[in-house]
């Protein structure tokens, strides 16, 4: 239908605007994945259209279900993490939601770690209150003790290692062993490691969730999520739920993440170098009671980190101030920082700082620290400047 035919009289300008006779020189090649925007995917004939099944990943069907741009990103993400199949969602939280709607139903029981990403808790509480899910929060350090929390209707166990505010490293293999023995699906929010520093599938986890909003985007300007699996049946369940929820991502956003992906590992390592150095320096400061960085001993699960992680910890860590400092003093410290901005999310070039009242965020485990927690995200500024900024703010607010 796009062939030009010299015998056909010239069509109206309006038709030619809608269906131009493009004469694009063939043979062009570049490193970028083309931006393939689509709602409508065009079929050559009705028989082809009728033969398509939504679950068939090898054929194009509708823009919401994927275009060459989004599928290229999904495949690269699966490869980074050692998975086989990946789906994209419009945010990390939408990926989390996709797991709930794909894996559990009313009457099922779900276990969520007490240190889970807060909107995951919010989502679980909502499903428990309004949609008949049973939800139990568990101590993230419970390890094989998770067995005591399992019920006959437990269908999903969430993991998050480390928790992105309090940084406990869970014993993933111990929890997965219990889950596997009972046929329970495990899903990890693996955003912290970007799929680089922790390889969930090597430890038997079924589903990995990534907030691509963070390191994969790297620009603090894109929202996107992914679910990655090795198991085609789980992938199909997630894909069916994603189709029913009507969630997908734009090719333009996907192309921006594709653009950042080649530098992600090098960025992660640079964030890690500076964050480790600053964490160690903060450990020497008298104002600081504990430094919760996975590579330091203060961090619960440090030995598990040494055992299960490789390739660093990225840019995220927290400190707990000495209990003698009030919440208002710690607020003053955060506001005295000049190079650290106040804002949610992380994974971009800019450093961030945020105070948290952890006790108000937990229901299943005791938080041992008195003092206020501040979470830092170490960006790509020079480490010497960040250290000077931290020191000046400590002196100004607490000195
Ligand atoms: C940011 C984040 C998410 C959610 O990502 P959004 O794209 O902001 O919805 C999920 N889990 C963790 C650990 C995160 O840091």
pLDDT tens column, 134-184? 999 999 999 999 999 999 999 999 999 999 899 999 999 999 999 999 999
Tokens of residue 175, six digits: 């929890």
Question: In which domain, by residue range, is 123 found?
Answer: 59-258
Pocket test for ligand 1, best of 89, 91, 95, 117 (most atoms within 8 A of CB): 117
Let me know if residue 392 belongs to a domain.
yes
Do 239 and 105 have their domain in common?
Answer: yes
Paired with 137 in beta bridges are: 112
How many whole angstroms from 195 Cα to the centroid of ligand 1? 14
Do 219 and 273 have their domain in common?
Answer: no
Nearest CA to ligand 1 atom 8: 92
Do 293 and 179 have their domain in common?
Answer: no
Do 166 and 275 have their domain in common?
Answer: no
Instruction: Specify the ligand 1 atom closest to the Cα of 225.
Output: 7
Give the integer Cα–Cα distance in Å for 243 and 249.
Answer: 12
Mean pLDDT for the chain? 95
Give the start-end residues of each E strand in 236-338.
288-292, 316-321
pLDDT at position 2 over 50: no
Do 212 and 158 have their domain in common?
Answer: yes
The total domain count for the chain is 2
Print the SS3 string covering 230-248: CCHHHHHHHHHHHHHHCCC
How many whole angstroms from 30 Cα to the centroid of ligand 1? 32
pLDDT at position 329 over 90: yes
Do 65 and 184 have their domain in common?
Answer: yes
Burial (CB count within 10 angstroms: exposed 0-12, middle 13-18, buried 19+), residue 38: middle
Pocket test for ligand 1, best of 119, 223, 256, 257 (most atoms within 8 A of CB): 119
Q: Report, as an integer, the average pLDDT of 386-396.
A: 97
Residues lining ligand 1, CB < 6 A? 91-93, 117, 164, 189, 191, 211, 213-214, 223, 225, 345
Q: Report, as an integer, the average pLDDT of 96-121.
A: 97
How many whole angstroms from 28 Cα to the centroid of ligand 1? 38
Model pLDDT, residue 19: 85
Instruction: Specify the ligand 1 atom closest to the Cα of 93.
Output: 9
Let me know if residue 8 belongs to a domain.
no
Residue 17 CA, chain-centre distance (Å), reads 42
Strand order in the sheet with 207-211: 85-89, 225-229, 207-211, 185-189, 154-159, 109-113, 134-138
Q: Report, as an integer, the average pLDDT of 2-8.
A: 57
Pocket test for ligand 1, best of 113, 167, 211 (most atoms within 8 A of CB): 211
Looking at 194, 223, 258, which one is the last position of a domain?
258
User: Angle of helix 251-260 relative to helix 68-81, nearest 10 degrees?
Assistant: 40
Give the start-end residues of each E strand in the chain.
85-89, 109-113, 134-138, 154-159, 185-189, 207-211, 225-229, 288-292, 316-321, 352-356, 373-377
Let me know if residue 39 belongs to a domain.
no
Give the integer Cα–Cα distance in Å for 160 and 316.
Answer: 14
Let me know if residue 33 belongs to a domain.
no
Let me know if residue 19 belongs to a domain.
no
Q: Are 156 and 104 in contact (CB under 8 A)?
A: yes
Do 270 and 136 have their domain in common?
Answer: no
What CATH number corresponds to the domain at position 181? 3.40.640.10
More confident residue, 20 or 251: 251
pLDDT confidence band for 1 (50 / 70 / 90): very low
Q: Report, as an integer, the average pLDDT of 8-17.
A: 86
Let me know if residue 38 belongs to a domain.
no
Q: Does 174 sit behind a cis peptide bond, omega within 30 degrees of 0 on the bond before it?
A: no
Do 239 and 319 have their domain in common?
Answer: no
Paired with 318 in beta bridges are: 292, 375
Let me know if residue 31 belongs to a domain.
no
Do 318 and 392 have their domain in common?
Answer: yes
Percent of the chain having pLDDT more than 70?
98
Strand order in the sheet with 316-321: 288-292, 316-321, 373-377, 352-356
Pairing of strands 288-292, 207-211: unpaired
Looking at 258, 274, 298, which one is the last position of a domain?
258
Looking at 227, 242, 258, which one is the last position of a domain?
258
How many whole angstroms from 120 Cα to the centroid of ligand 1? 9
Percent of the chain having pLDDT more than 90?
88
Do 273 and 243 have their domain in common?
Answer: no
The answer for residues whose C-beta is within 8 angstroms of residue 226's C-beta and 6 or more apart is: 74, 77, 86, 87, 88, 89, 95, 209, 210, 212
Nearest CA to ligand 1 atom 5: 92
Model pLDDT, residue 48: 94
What CATH number corresponds to the domain at position 373? 3.90.1150.10
Do 253 and 124 have their domain in common?
Answer: yes
The pLDDT tens digits for 50-97 are 999 888 888 999 999 999 999 999 999 999 999 999 999 999 999 999
Q: Report, as an integer, the average pLDDT of 314-332.
A: 97
Do 140 and 223 have their domain in common?
Answer: yes
Let me know if residue 297 belongs to a domain.
yes
Q: Report, as an integer, the average pLDDT of 232-252.
A: 97
């Amino acid at each position: 239908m796009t062939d030009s035919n010299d015998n056909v009289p010239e069509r109206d300008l309006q038709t030619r605007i809608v269906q131009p006779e493009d004469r694009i020189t063939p043979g062009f090649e570049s490193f970028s994945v083309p931006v393939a925007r689509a709602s409508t995917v065009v079929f050559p004939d009705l028989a082809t259209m009728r033969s398509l099944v939504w679950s068939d990943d090898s054929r194009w069907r509708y823009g919401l279900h994927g275009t060459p741009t989004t599928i290229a990103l999904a495949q690269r993400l699966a490869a980074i993490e050692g998975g086989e199949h990946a789906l994209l969602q419009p945010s990390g939280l939408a990926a989390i939601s996709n797991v709930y709607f794909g894996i559990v139903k009313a009457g099922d029981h779900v276990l969520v770690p007490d240190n889970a990403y807060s909107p995951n808790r919010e989502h679980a509480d909502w499903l428990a209150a309004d949609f008949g899910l049973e939800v139990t929060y568990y101590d993230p350090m419970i390890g094989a003790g998770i067995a005591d929390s399992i019920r006959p209707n437990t269908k999903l166990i969430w993991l998050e290692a480390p928790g992105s505010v309090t940084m406990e490293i869970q014993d993933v293999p111990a929890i997965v062993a219990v889950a596997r023995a009972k046929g329970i699906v495990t899903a990890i929010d693996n955003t912290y490691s970007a799929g680089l520093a922790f390889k969930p599938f090597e430890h038997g986890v079924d589903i990995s969730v990534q907030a691509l909003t963070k390191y994969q985007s790297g620009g603090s300007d894109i929202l996107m999520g992914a679910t990655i699996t090795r198991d085609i049946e789980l992938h199909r369940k997630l894909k069916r739920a994603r189709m029913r929820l009507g969630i997908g991502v734009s090719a333009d956003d996907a192309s921006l993440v594709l653009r950042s992906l080649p530098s992600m590992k090098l960025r992660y390592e640079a964030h890690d170098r500076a964050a480790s150095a600053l964490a160690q320096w903060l450990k020497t400061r008298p104002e600081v009671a504990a430094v919760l960085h996975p590579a330091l001993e203060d961090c619960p699960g440090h030995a598990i980190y040494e055992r299960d992680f490789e390739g660093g910890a990225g840019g995220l860590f927290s400190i707990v101030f000495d209990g003698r400092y009030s919440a208002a003093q710690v607020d003053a410290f955060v506001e005295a920082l000049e190079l650290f901005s106040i804002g949610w999310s992380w994974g971009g070039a800019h450093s961030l700082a945020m105070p948290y009242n952890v006790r108000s965020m937990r229901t299943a485990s005791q938080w041992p620290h008195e003092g206020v927690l501040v979470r830092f995200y170490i960006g790509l500024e020079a480490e010497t400047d960040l250290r000077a900024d931290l020191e000046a703010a400590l002196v100004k607010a607490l000195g």
